[in-house]
Amino acid sequence: MNEEHPVTQDVYAAKGSMQEADLLIQKYLPFIKKETAKFLQRPPIEGQDDELSIAMLAFHEAVQHYTSSRGAFLPYAALTIKNRLIDYRRREQRHHQAVSLDAPANGSDAPLSSTLAGGSDHGEELVLREATREEIEELSRQMAKFGVTLTDVAENCPRQQRTLEACRKVLRCAKETPGLLDELLHSGRLPVARLTAGSGVERKTIERHRKYLVALLLIYTNGYELIRDHIKRVLKGGAGR
């Protein structure tokens, strides 16, 4: 956390000043280019690749929305950039698909779309798959600091509806209690006593599903948007709202 401290100070200074925000973007332009290059799988070209502009706007968005409860700033900014680039590529793919489907097929007057009964956008699927893989890898690294693995989470996942509802309450409590997620990140331990008092869930239930809850709370601290969407579906929206 110490190495992030100067960055965090700069970020908070940039929240209230467009000038400071512009200076911060210039300072971290190499970082922004690096994240864009990871997405493009090649160095971005200034003035040619729209993705670089999207990444710069995403970095600014990360500055404006950042709080310490989201963890270290740079990983949060990296995920924000990646997610905005994914959104951009989805829009572009939908646009190009619409254009190509409305074009005449095989020299006829009928559009290609009229010859297709259905189909899926495999390019988008591949992008989402890669983005999800990267989020899972980043989450795995963060969970490792708590001594938790993905296997642990799978084995510790609640099986009964009553227990799942209890986990919803714990997550809701963590999100609504100021400083609780910060305590989780800074201490490296699940604040069981505070969660018990705030959620009304029995301590033994929280202890029994500690590893699952650690993963669940971490997902809500650092911009794991794709994983979070999946969790929302699993929890049927109860705690994800």
**Nearest residue to 151 (alpha-carbon basis) of 140, 165, 142, 161:** 140
Residues in CB range of 183: below 8 A, 6 or more apart: 191, 194
CA–CA gap between residue 120 and residue 134 (Å, rounded): 23
Q: State pLDDT tens for residues 98-140.
A: 444 455 544 455 554 444 444 445 555 666 666 777 777 778 8
Q: State pLDDT tens for residues 68-88.
A: 877 888 988 998 898 888 888
**β-bridge partners, 104:** 111
Instruction: Give the per-residue pLDDT at 197.
Output: 94
- Answer whether 213's CB lies under 8 Å from 180's CB: no
Work out the percent of the chain whose per-residue pLDDT is above 70: 74
Whether the predicted model's global pTM rises above the 0.75 cut: no
Backbone angles phi, psi at 104, to 5 degrees: -60, 140
Q: State pLDDT tens for residues 103-114.
A: 554 445 555 444
- Give all domains of the chain, ordered by start, each with its CATH number: 1-119 (1.10.1740.10), 150-234 (no CATH)
CA–CA gap between residue 160 and residue 164 (Å, rounded): 6
Roughly what angle, to the nearest 10 degrees, separates helices 73-102 and 225-234?
80
| Alpha helix segments (H runs only) across 66-160 | 73-102, 122-144, 150-156
